[in-house]
Structure 1
Amino acid sequence: MAEEDTARHRARMQRKKAVIEERIARASLERGVFLLHTGSGKGKSSAAFGVLARALGHGMNAVVVQFVKSRSDTGEEAFFRRHPAVRWYVMGEGFTWETQDPARDAAAARAAWETARAALTDPGVALVILDELTYAFKYHWLDLEEALAVFRARPFHQHLIVTGRAAPAALVEAADTVTEMGLVKHAFQAGVKAMPGIEW
């Protein structure tokens, strides 16, 4: 790189550093944050479980409640369930096209919500992950406003992650950080079956 280019680059990075440091200095509030992972792409739950690993590394206690998923042979559950600081609940009945029983799905969602509500009122739980919760609002198994009230009333330092497609606008508005996973391509579209360690 020419000396002139190096000087320009250094000046640009110094300006950027000053802007970022000023933003960091302004962010002084410490409280629990609400993260929402939504969108049609793969990785919403995987991202949440990555945060779970990070939280455990900081000595936090966590609760995971899975709303739609019913299988208990996933790699993430096998790994995290062994950790003494994690309580893991698989409470779904399976995908709606498999169950074909809306009353059964709704009952399972309500039972999962009661487990989630207990975690969301427990000051000893630092992180709550509600995996695939958005479907409970899409199919009207749960009342969104009631859930949002519980989210707002949770312990001040408790973090919350909600995952699932088609998050309703009010959920997006309530979250502190929203990430929308976009699908560009997926191996399944090319006929590749779900592989252990990648899909489950």
Structure 2
Amino acid sequence: MDETTLRHNEKMKKIKAARDRLMKSKTEKRGLIIVHTGNGKGKSSSGFGMILRCIGHGIPCAVVQFIKGTWETGERRVLKEKFANECRFVISGEGFTWETQDRERDVAAAQAGWEQAKALILDPEIRFVLLDEINIALRYDYLDIDEVVDFLQTRKPEMTHVVLTGRNAKPELFEAADLVSEMKLVKHPFKDGVVAQEGVEF
């Protein structure tokens, strides 16, 4: 072996030893509160990726989709048509707020969705729930942030994971969450006049 390879091997041995020591101290398992927010693309995509991962592991899961409502997404189609037994899918809302232009209807839809979300989270057969775009409903005060946080902290079953997606997640949710990821916009084709496209945006 040459000098470069030997140095590399020694470095990797040290990294592995340190990693092994670290992993020995990580033994707790519990259901997490996870937030995907930020102005960049990928919040819902990441959440649905986790749903697919759950299906692959045989973990019963559910989606409650706030706000988007009538928008026919690829994720919605494949889950309802191919994985209805593995993943329950609830549509809440009639479309984006600028489409409905009716606050009372939007509030009612969000609250109905939240009631279904609570039932799914409490369902002992379900271990992972994605609340897609709920942060938008919270941002516009269609739902009470204190009620949502209190429910997640005091009533969510110990081993159930809950993911909340959408821009502008409130500080109270950051505080309550175990894991927060913020997607940052660097560049987006929409600014150059490119319309949202199947398979990329929905």
TM-score interval, normalised by the smaller of the two chains: over 0.9
CA distance in 2, matches of 1:127, 1:140: 25
Which residue of the partner structure matches residue 129 of structure 1?
Answer: 130
Which residue of the partner structure matches residue 78 of structure 1?
Answer: 77
CA distance in 2, matches of 1:191, 1:21: 49
Which residue of the partner structure matches residue 92 of structure 1?
Answer: 93
- Secondary structure of the corresponding residue to residue 123 of structure 2: coil
CA distance in 1, matches of 2:123, 2:52: 20
- CA displacement, residues 58-93 of structure 1 (integer Å, 9 cap, x when unaligned): 111111001111125211111111311111111122
CA contact (8 A) 1:125 1:158 kept: yes
Give the alignment's TM-score, normalised by structure 1: 0.94
Deviation for aligned residue 1:5 = 2.4
CA contact (8 A) 1:31 1:157 kept: yes
CA distance in 2, matches of 1:18, 1:144: 44
**Which residue identity lines up with residue 71 of structure 1 in the other structure?**
T
CA contact (8 A) 1:134 1:165 kept: yes
Which residue of the partner structure matches residue 35 of structure 2?
Answer: 36
CA contact (8 A) 1:120 1:150 kept: no
- Secondary structure of the corresponding residue to residue 173 of structure 2: helix
Which residue of the partner structure matches residue 145 of structure 1?
Answer: 146
Unpaired runs of 5+ residues, structure 1, are none
Cα gap change, 1:72 to 1:190, in 2 (>3 Å)? closer
Residues 1:156 and 2:158 aligned together: yes
CA contact (8 A) 2:62 2:130 kept: yes
Deviation for aligned residue 1:158 = 0.8
Q: 63-72 or 112-121: which moved more? A: 63-72
- Secondary structure of the corresponding residue to residue 81 of structure 1: helix
Q: Which runs of 4+ in 1 moved over 3 A?
A: none
Paired positions, count: 199
CA distance in 2, matches of 1:75, 1:157: 29
Alignment of 1:50-129 (within 5 A): 50-82=49-81, 83=83, 84-129=85-130
Residues 1:196 and 2:198 aligned together: yes
CA contact (8 A) 2:71 2:95 kept: no
- Aligned-residue sequence identity (percent) comes to 44
Question: Of 158, 162, 165, which aligns to 2:167?
Answer: 165
Give the alignment's TM-score, normalised by structure 2: 0.93
CA distance in 1, matches of 2:150, 2:123: 15
Which residue of the partner structure matches residue 23 of structure 1?
Answer: 22
**Which residue identity lines up with residue 178 of structure 1 in the other structure?**
V
